Chains A and B, each alone.
Chain A
Amino acid sequence: MSETGVRVLVVDDERSIRRFLQAALAPHGHTVYEATSGEEALAAVIAHRPDLIILDLGLPDLDGTEVTRRLREWSQIPIVILSVLDREEDKIAALDAGADDYLSKPFGVGELLARIRVAIRHASRPAEEPVFQVDDLKVDVAHRQVTLTGQEVSLTPTEYDLLRVLGQHAGKVLTHRQLLRQVWGVAYETETHLLRVNVSNLRRKIEPDPTRPHYILTEPGVGYRLRADV
């Protein structure tokens, strides 16, 4: 499975969206399959064995979250969700059900391709990487060391864990719940203030300008994402 020329299953009941995705993805060497409903999507995953699914949340039969849930029973295929801007609950539900990322409609082609690259990269290299780097920020997991333009940054253990979890999923959105669960544990998954305070503190330490974050990006109402080079 290479990062160029992946097989993409597009699941959307709107013909114009399918047409647009076909037109946008084909020039980049991707093969596009189409499905117009949840049931059709589940069948198409078995029939075409795609590398990635672009799934609209508002399907006529099953909702996208349900499709995600059913797929996750037997498949780890990357799923990128399409949703309108103001349906944060739906996005969170789908992400918590196992979807990899989301795109708010309307979206640009650049954004779409970036999401596809990140999702494919994480699917093909699931193992933890010892070091990850983006621009001037470098996190060395093996040595528990964080540097910013070569200068070591001193973080509290919680801040470090938070940055490590974000880094492991660099480029992918993580919901508040996912972050709280992975950094603090299941018992803390509703304590969003812990997350907000630590993200705020972390930004003060690693962002050149904490009011306009460059590394840790806020996904309003959904979660956070660490910038990745894609």
Chain B
Amino acid sequence: MTEKRAYSDMYADIAGKAHAVPAISALTQIISVHQPLYVWWRILLSLGLVAVATALGFPLHALIARANLVMLYLAAVVVAATYLDRVPSMVAAVAGVLAFNFFFTEPRFTLVMSDPEDIITFTGLFMVGLVVSTLAARAREQAESARQHESQIAALYELSRDLTAAADLDAVVQGVTNHVSHTFGRESVILLAEGEELKSRQPASFPLDENEWAVAVRSFRSGQPAGRGTDTLPGARLHYLPLKTVRRIVGVLGVKTTDPNLHLTPEQRRLLESFAGQAALAVEREQLAEQARQAELLKAADKLQTALLNSISHDLRTPLVAITGALSSLQDDAASLNEAARQGLIEMAREEAERLNRLVGNLLDMSRIEAGALRLKQVPCDVQDVIGTALERLSSRLGDHPVTVEVPPDLPLVPMDFVLIVQALANILDNAVKYSPPGSPIRVTGRLAGAGESLEIAVADQGIGIPAEDLTRVFDKFYRAQRTRAVSGTGLGLAIAKGIVEAHGGRIWAENRPGGGTVVTLALPVQHVLAISTPRVSASKHRVTTTEGQP
């Protein structure tokens, strides 16, 4: 009886509602529910079946052989066995024997037996009733258990399907708690191990107090279930299951009870354990995947470092050689150098030092971009000021390149990290200067593109251009077009520009101009056009043009 009581846990709700629903559905409920209360109902029903058999027997009595009337009672027993379980069907068998004896054997309407054949009929009817009821009941139980089994398998299958599709650890945790809630109607929490500690990945809507944590940790450390419904600290509010894989325990699943009087059945407990097993595997899979990603990153970082050493050691040493040489010659050969030679050496040492400084700056920028350590400080910026500042930074390197800047005066402020975009633009300009002949013009344009959704800043030169197959690769780090070997550079400038622009959610691309030369364009998203309280100057000649190298 106690087991049946516990078993009813899952269905208690349904059975409770049965009082209120119509008779037919009540009957189904009664039939499908193993409730002791309803055994009496079913016995009454089985007696009813016997009564029906009897009622049918009366008109047939005169027409068929008496022994065949037994078939009616047999049918009643089979029906009772199939739908009403063992006890009611045996009641039906006994009642059938008695009713047959009472109503149809001579002398009728007494329980006296005169014909010895009737005794065989009674015994047969009784035995058949017993066997049929036993068989039918067993079949019913098996069907019931198969049905349960099937629904458990289905629940497990759905869980494992969802966990397979889960993209990250949070999705796994969400999937498990959703399925526990769906299958068991209970809230749950997943605590994951981080090193030796348990950490909650759940939102604060389901907080655990210190005691609950202690129970969860106990389960985690021992690898055994703990808390409610177990022998370990049963006073807890939740039932805790360790999430075990072959290798280790990855966390703990805590399941909350809605009603303190309800306990999980053994079947449910087994299902929950299977859930925990699935969850453990999924968590471990995600953690391993994460480790693999980290390893991949490390490998990439390692590759970067090797490349740095190979490619950079040369670039680092060259300016140092030049600087050291210039300084030592100034110190040692002071007497033999004329003023022009001295100035030349000093100039060279300074240029090389500046080059070294740029190189170190580029390396630092690249490593910060690689490490994802760029912190954007996006504020509304004046595009013209951005371009002007980038040109100012490059002023010593622009040499005699005439620079034209075209920015419509009504261009709104665009949110960006001023310093970083200046840097990106300076790198693009530096590239334009490096790969175009002295004195060739450079043009910088800023404009809103795509119905004002993005800001485009383009730098056009009349240089050597980029081979079509290299147009995207020029933004890869350490990439340098084959024919540019003669020009000093690290192959980092455009990669840094790309990193900065992409950190803004923008993009950068290079195109060859029909007349020769390259256009590098960076596009930044303009999420919102700012309401500007101060009206901008209504300028009349709205193309502001400047020419570098003229007074």
Contacts and interface: CB of A to CB of B under 8 A. Distances in A.
Interface of A: 85-86, 88, 106, 158, 192-194, 196-201, 204-205, 209-213, 217-218, 220-221
Contact of A106 (B357, B392, B393, B409): B357
A171 B542 CA distance: 30
B379 A194 contact: no
A201 B537 contact: yes
B544 interface: yes
Given A197-B532, A209-B544, A211-B544, A221 B385 contact: no
A196 B385 contact: yes
B392 A218 contact: yes
Interface size class of B (residues with CB under 8 A): 20 to 34
27 contacts: A85-B361, A88-B419, A192-B379, A193-B532, A196-B380, A197-B382, A197-B413, A199-B382, A200-B536, A201-B534, A204-B409, A204-B537, A205-B537, A209-B546, A211-B384, A211-B387, A211-B388, A211-B405, A211-B544, A212-B388, A212-B405, A212-B546, A217-B392, A218-B392, A220-B419, A221-B377, A221-B419
Contacts of B391: 211-212
Contact of B418 (A193, A212, A220): A220
Interface string B374-399: 00010111101101110111000000
A106 B537 CA distance: 38
A217 B389 CA distance: 9
A83 B539 CA distance: 38
The list of the 6 closest CB pairs from A to B, nearest first, reads A221-B419, A211-B405, A193-B380, A201-B537, A209-B546, A196-B382
Nearest to B353: A106
A227 B422 CA distance: 21
Contacts of B361: 85-86
B388 to A, nearest CB: 5
B367 to A, nearest CB: 12
A86 B419 contact: yes
Nearest to B406: A211
Interface of B: 353, 357, 361, 364-365, 377, 379-382, 384-385, 387-389, 391-393, 405, 407, 409, 413, 418-419, 422, 530, 532-534, 536-537, 539, 544, 546
Contacts of A194: 533-534
B373 to A, nearest CB: 11
Given A85-B361, A106-B357, A212-B392, A218 B532 contact: no
Contacts of B393: 220
Contacts of A192: 379-380
A211 B419 contact: no
Contact of B385 (A86, A158, A200, A209): A200
A209 B388 CA distance: 10
B408 to A, nearest CB: 12
Contacts of A201: 534, 536-537
Nearest to B533: A194
A211 B393 CA distance: 13
Contacts of B364: 86
Nearest to A201: B537
Nearest to A224: B385
A149 B134 CA distance: 116
A210 B384 contact: yes
Contacts of B534: 158, 194, 197-198, 201
